[in-house]
């Protein structure tokens, strides 16, 4: 299983912005507990609605990216949901998308999901706490998600219209939504379309197209703008609409749409901005991964320089380090933030995250080398790593560099079960891993970097994300 590629020759020519964001949207589906392709299907539905409403070319492009990136902030409230509801954040989020906002449904949802599997007394206390503070808690959770998503969209250099569309995703036409209680036309148009598209996608997949259509008609004037409901009903009654939505080539057709091609181009600098912004989505999943991707990217970049990698290889290594843990968006915070030893089943779930990283990144042909390297950051020279159990002969130098950078940050940063270790202790631990888990030559290069006068140190790297800029 030897990788056959040369990062120095890697290029993004032929790679489109829609294709990249469509692939990354699959990671957003993971952290929302949705079926793969949820954001893509919502984008198709919402774009069709926009066409029926006669949006301009520029507005159609902004709507397209609002729909594809509607869940950009979704990872930022995952830890809080676990903390408040004592439950799996992904299951909680999946179920919450079917709640219609009525008191009866909301109460049933809280009773069903809060502290599930815990002793009865603990469940009772948790439910009482949630119900007592439900208004504040729900607003806080939505505000975190909406504001973070909008901020990341702006970091990606999308328009204010896209950012505002993401920020208003959970507002309802009658003012009953969150977090700002906006009413009617005060809700951004793209938010109104995106929420309807989301509900239509979730219900059509869960209970069928006819029931989904009845659901959006039932919520017309409460959740949804009646004009947008009429446009949506007209769309879904077109012959072939549902067949198109279910077609295996939906993504290819979606990425070839004019909104994906007309407004924004993709070059190396823009790709770097998107990847660095998306690293925020990854690191926001857990308070214990805050800054992890940025720091690993910094250490990987410095090691790549120290080892005299070519300039283009350095850039791709930096990108890979930022994206290496994207698969962790598919792991519940009940596992990621656990303060104690993982069970066998929990560890088995953790061990799948490199495979999920590989699956997401490999959706973009230009990202194939990046996907392959990212998948190997938990492999060991002696074959006792995961997910593939490869041995030294299959682990090229780029893979070994990423592994060393990842381990260095794991030891020198805070974790749920311990505080950051001092550098002398990190040296001892990593020294014992040389030859069995990690490459001694790369570890020596790491210590040269760490001992250099301009090494920022783990704390400084966390405090200043710009230190992980392209080297």
Active-site residue set: 328
232, 44 Cβ separation under 8 angstroms: no
**Degrees, nearest 5: CA angle 18-257-261:** 55
Q: Residue 220 pairs with which residues in a beta bridge? A: 224
With 0-12 / 13-18 / 19 or more C-beta atoms within 10 angstroms meaning exposed / middle / buried, residue 308 is: exposed
How far is residue 46 from each of residues 114, 131, 196, measured CA to CA in Å? 32, 34, 8
CA–CA gap between residue 348 and residue 312 (Å, rounded): 35
**Degrees, nearest 5: CA angle 170-226-35:** 45
335, 296 Cβ separation under 8 angstroms: no
Beta carbons within 8 Å of 381's beta carbon, 6+ residues apart: 391, 392, 395, 400, 435, 436, 437, 438, 439
Which single residue is written with the structure tokens 């996608």?
Answer: 201
The dihedral of CA 386, 387, 391, 395: what is its sign? negative
CA–CA gap between residue 410 and residue 404 (Å, rounded): 10
DSSP string, 173-225: TTS-SSSS---GGGS-HHHHHHHHHHHHHHHHHHH-HHHHHHHHHHTBTTTB-
Q: Residue 391 pairs with which residues in a beta bridge? A: 382
CA–CA gap between residue 46 and residue 233 (Å, rounded): 12
CA–CA gap between residue 392 and residue 112 (Å, rounded): 48
Beta carbons within 8 Å of 89's beta carbon, 6+ residues apart: 31, 33, 78, 79, 81, 82, 332, 333, 334
146, 170 Cβ separation under 8 angstroms: yes
**N- to C-terminal Cα distance for the chain?**
30
Identify which of 220, 245, 222, 225 has the alpha carbon closest to the alpha carbon of residue 235: 245
């Amino acid at each position: 299983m030897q990788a056959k590629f040369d990062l120095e020759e890697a290029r993004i020519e032929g790679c489109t912005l829609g294709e990249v964001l469509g692939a990354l949207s699959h990671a957003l589906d993971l952290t929302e507990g949705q079926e793969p392709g949820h954001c893509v299907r919502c984008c198709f539905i919402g774009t069709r609605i926009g066409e029926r409403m006669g949006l301009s070319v520029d507005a159609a492009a902004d709507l397209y990216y609002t729909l594809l990136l509607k869940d950009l902030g979704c990872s930022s409230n995952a830890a809080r949901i676990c903390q408040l509801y004592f439950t799996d954040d992904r299951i909680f989020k999946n179920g919450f998308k079917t709640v219609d906002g009525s008191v009866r449904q909301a109460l049933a949802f809280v009773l069903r999901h809060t502290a599930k599997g815990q002793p009865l007394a603990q469940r009772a206390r948790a439910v009482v706490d949630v119900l007592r503070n439900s208004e504040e808690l729900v607003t806080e959770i939505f505000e975190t998600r909406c504001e973070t998503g909008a901020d990341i969209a702006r970091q990606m250099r999308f328009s204010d219209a896209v950012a505002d569309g993401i920020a208003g995703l959970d507002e309802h036409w009658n003012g009953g939504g969150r977090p700002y209680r906006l009413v009617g036309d005060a809700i951004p148009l793209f938010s109104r379309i995106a929420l309807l598209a989301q509900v239509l996608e979730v219900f059509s997949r869960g209970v069928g197209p006819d029931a989904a259509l009845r659901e959006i008609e039932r919520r017309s004037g409460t959740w949804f703008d009646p004009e947008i409901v009429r446009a949506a009903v007209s769309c879904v009654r077109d012959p072939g609409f549902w067949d198109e939505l279910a077609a295996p080539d939906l993504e290819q057709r979606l990425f070839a749409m004019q909104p994906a091609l007309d407004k924004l181009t993709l070059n190396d600098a823009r790709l770097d901005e998107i990847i660095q912004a998306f690293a925020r989505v990854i690191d926001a999943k857990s308070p214990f991964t805050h800054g992890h991707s940025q720091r690993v990217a910094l250490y990987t970049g410095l090691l790549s320089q120290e080892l005299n990698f070519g300039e283009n290889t350095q850039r791709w290594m930096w990108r890979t380090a930022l994206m290496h843990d994207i698969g962790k968006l598919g792991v519940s915070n009940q596992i990621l933030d656990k303060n104690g030893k993982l069970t066998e089943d929990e560890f088995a779930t953790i061990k799948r995250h490199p495979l999920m990283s590989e699956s997401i990144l490999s959706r973009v042909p230009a990202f194939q080398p990046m996907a392959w390297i990212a998948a190997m950051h938990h492999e060991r020279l002696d074959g006792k790593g995961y997910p593939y159990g490869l041995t030294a002969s299959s682990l090229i130098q780029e893979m070994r560099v990423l592994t060393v950078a990842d381990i260095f940050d794991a030891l020198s940063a805070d974790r749920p079960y311990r505080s950051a270790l001092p550098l002398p202790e990190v040296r001892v631990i990593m020294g014992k891993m040389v030859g069995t888990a990690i490459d001694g030559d790369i570890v020596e290069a790491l210590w040269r970097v760490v001992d250099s006068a301009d090494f920022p140190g783990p704390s400084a790297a966390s405090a200043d994300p710009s230190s992980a800029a392209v080297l």
